[in-house]
Structure 1
Amino acid sequence: MTRPLTPRQQNVYDFIVKTMSELGYPPTRAEIARALGFRSPNAAEEHLRALDKKGAIRMVPGTSRGIRLPAMEAEAAESEPKAANAPETSAQGLPIIGEVAAGSPILATAHIDRYCPLPADYFTPRADYLLRVRGLSMKDIGILEGDLLAVHRTERIRDGQIVVARIEDEVTVKRFKRQGHTVWLMAENEEFAPIEIDLRHQALEIEGVGVGVIRGGNGQALH
């Protein structure tokens, strides 16, 4: 950050940091406007452009959540090494994972349908793979059947984050909530009941957190 921020710009910046720290992805302009009392998303957009000009954030054109934090990216790069057994994505792009066979690693070669020509650091934190979404359990937050969910492999999970979880032989995308020995995997669709897991008796493996969505797998990325 090379230039000082105004108090209002600092409020916007702090809200972006808070959202990304708690949920793992940036807020939309509308969410910023609601949280900070702006009259419209256009007002939030003006502050974002000012923050971008001052170097506090980086904006990705054409995306609803296209906000990146250079400071957070640098900290993540220093503190978290690349996940073991993750495929190299620099040459071919991000692997797109389709059906996942029971009991096998999610990044097994047999699960990779093809590669998407997006760099891993297009997303914040960087994505390790894209998972093709099945079903409509997360439709209320815009994750739909056939979308590609960008996933960052990590074991550092916080309440409220969107996770890719493996329960026995099933891989599912849900919102994470934990209290003591109990984890709830929450759908974003009132037609789906929460999945309750007692960690003392049931195995749960987190395959990563969602960091972005590519609509319908057609290359339109939403951060």
Structure 2
Amino acid sequence: MNTRLTARQEAILEFIRDRIQQGLPPTRGDIAEAFGFASRSAAEQHLRALAEKGAISLNEGRARGIQLVDVRPSLRRPGPELPLVGKVAAGQPILAQEHIETHLAVDPDCFRPRADYLLRVQGDSMIDAGIFDGDCLAVHRQPEAALGSIVVARIDDEVTVKRLQQVQGQWVLRAENPRYQPIQLRDKAWHIEGLVVGVLRRLDKP
């Protein structure tokens, strides 16, 4: 940090840390209310001072655009993390940087086999397997899987999560929701991206 903080700045920084640990940075209004400021502009002035001293960075134009720069070791997330992947664009690698929403404090060795990343579920095609829209799947990267496994597969450049099966000698990806028809893989370009090894329910939600 470039310059020592005042007692009030230390208190505001601690407040910001606490709110981020709870899930979201505070707004200017939150800070003004917590410290009895007459207006949000007073909170903004303190935030500008903290940014100038290197304690935080500000994302202009966002109400909660506050990020910690000088995070105290005692408040850092302990242990390893896994990248959380959101919507994957067609034809692009799953772990492309633009697909990674954040990193979550999840130990990859909690899963067998070891997880390589978390994938956010979109849709209800696997609800009968206990996988719901918004869940995070722990995925182990591998190019093959046993029959009956739930896999992350790429079909014609689109990524999907389904159960791997064979019907009359033909590979099939089956949804766990009767509203969806099985995906017949004959004559399709497809491959397995990974094996689903765990489900985390909306882990990153406050």
- TM-score category, normalised to shorter length: 0.5 to 0.7
> What TM-score, normalized to structure 2?
0.58
Query: What do the CA deviations read for 1:139-177 (whole angstroms, capped 9, x no partner)?
Result: 011100000000001123110000001111321100001
Matched, 1:192 2:180: yes
Query: What do the CA deviations read for 1:32-75 (whole angstroms, capped 9, x no partner)?
Result: xxxxxxxxxxxxxxxxxxxxxxxxxxxxxxxxxxxxxxxxxxxx
Equivalent pairs counted in the alignment come to 128
Equivalent residue number for residue 136 of structure 2: 148
Equivalent AA in structure 2 for residue 157 of structure 1: A
Q: Which residue of 123, 126, 144 maps to 1:138?
A: 126
Q: How does 1:121-132 map to 2 (within 5 A)?
A: 121-132=109-120
Q: Quote the RMSD (CA, aligned, Å).
A: 1.9
Structure 2 gap segments, 5+ residues each:
1-77
Q: Which residue of 105, 109, 125 maps to 2:97?
A: 109
Equivalent AA in structure 1 for residue 107 of structure 2: P
In the alignment, the residues of structure 1 paired with residue 79 and residue 99 of structure 2 have an alpha-carbon distance, to the nearest angstrom, of 19
> What TM-score, normalized to structure 1?
0.54
Q: How does 1:197-216 map to 2 (within 5 A)?
A: 197-198=185-186, 201-216=187-202
Equivalent AA in structure 1 for residue 93 of structure 2: P
| Conserved? CA contact 2:129–2:176, under 8 Å | yes
Secondary structure of the equivalent of 1:207?
Answer: strand
Task: Rate the CA distance shift 1:179–1:194 in 2: closer, same or farther, 3 A.
Answer: closer
Secondary structure of the equivalent of 2:195?
Answer: strand
Matched, 1:95 2:96: no
In the alignment, the residues of structure 1 paired with residue 90 and residue 169 of structure 2 have an alpha-carbon distance, to the nearest angstrom, of 25
* Higher relative contact order structure (alpha carbons within 8 Å, sequence separation ≥ 6): 1
- How much has 1:217 moved relative to structure 2? 2.8
Structure 1 gap segments, 5+ residues each:
1-89
In the alignment, the residues of structure 2 paired with residue 181 and residue 106 of structure 1 have an alpha-carbon distance, to the nearest angstrom, of 29
| Conserved? CA contact 2:143–2:191, under 8 Å | no
Equivalent residue number for residue 79 of structure 1: none
Secondary structure of the equivalent of 1:151?
Answer: strand
Secondary structure of the equivalent of 1:212?
Answer: strand
Equivalent AA in structure 2 for residue 210 of structure 1: V
Equivalent residue number for residue 33 of structure 1: none
Larger-Rg structure: 2
| Conserved? CA contact 1:167–1:203, under 8 Å | yes
- How much has 1:180 moved relative to structure 2? 7.7
